[in-house]
Amino acid sequence: MWRLVGTALITVLLAACQQAPSEHWQLTDIQGHMPDLEFALTSDEDKPVTAADFKGDTTLLYFGYTHCPDVCPLTMAHLHVVMQKLGPLAEHVRILFVSVDPARDTPQQLHDYVRAFDSHALGLTGSPAAIEALSKRYRAAYSRDPSNSQGDYEVAHSSGIYLFDRQGHARLLATPADSQDALVHDLTALIQSQEK
């Protein structure tokens, strides 16, 4: 029995040694801990879209909203620089910005917002129930703060950036605190590992 365990262990170690550098992630590895990319929402072009529309692309999923005063614009600017650093590889990447404020974020407003940051970004909206279901699927949290006297409000939300491979499998989790170089490294490795 121990010989079988030893043989199995050696096989695993050899396989690990033969894996591409793509397995040396700088971001958090969530493979096997998060479900595949799956949704049915409305795009910022006011068209129905599903996760299947992005098969073949490496996809970044981020929950935010266009009235966000700080973390959303900073994160989108951060991702724009990452796309620039990726160079030609950026053509294989899509940024999906899912609004957690569907009451205010119309498709047109989302379109203007995300495209102001990067041409690889697409805004997504849907019913409150659909947004809530998607956020729960990836354990993302958000809550609306009380409105002020002008009727304005903020939405508190988590800031994780979920990375999915070309088949829609959840692979990595980033935060706005992760460096641009770490994102570029792991996106490059993820894209190149799927080209083999």
Choose among 26, 61, 69: nearest CA to 139: 61
The answer to the question of residue 11 being in a domain is no
pLDDT in tens, the chain (196 residues): 333 333 333 333 333 333 344 458 999 999 999 999 999 999 999 999 999 999 999 999 999 999 999 999 999 999 999 999 999 999 999 999 999 999 999 999 999 999 999 999 999 999 999 999 999 999 999 998 888 877 789 999 999 999 999 999 999 999 989 999 999 999 999 999 877 5
The answer to the question of residue 16 being in a domain is no
pLDDT of residue 70: 93
CATH label of the domain that carries residue 154: 3.40.30.10
Q: Give the separation between CA 134 and CA 157, rounded to whole angstroms.
A: 14
Residues belonging to the chain: 196
Q: Give the separation between CA 172 and CA 112, rounded to whole angstroms.
A: 28
pLDDT of residue 3: 33
pLDDT of residue 23: 59
Structural domain containing residue 31: 26-193
pLDDT tens digits, residue range 13-30? 333 333 344 458 999 999
The answer to the question of residue 108 being in a domain is yes
The answer to the question of residue 125 being in a domain is yes
The answer to the question of residue 63 being in a domain is yes
The answer to the question of residue 164 being in a domain is yes
pLDDT of residue 196: 55
- Domain count within the chain: 1
The answer to the question of residue 21 being in a domain is no
CB distance 131 to 102 below 8 Å: yes
pLDDT of residue 77: 97
The answer to the question of residue 117 being in a domain is yes
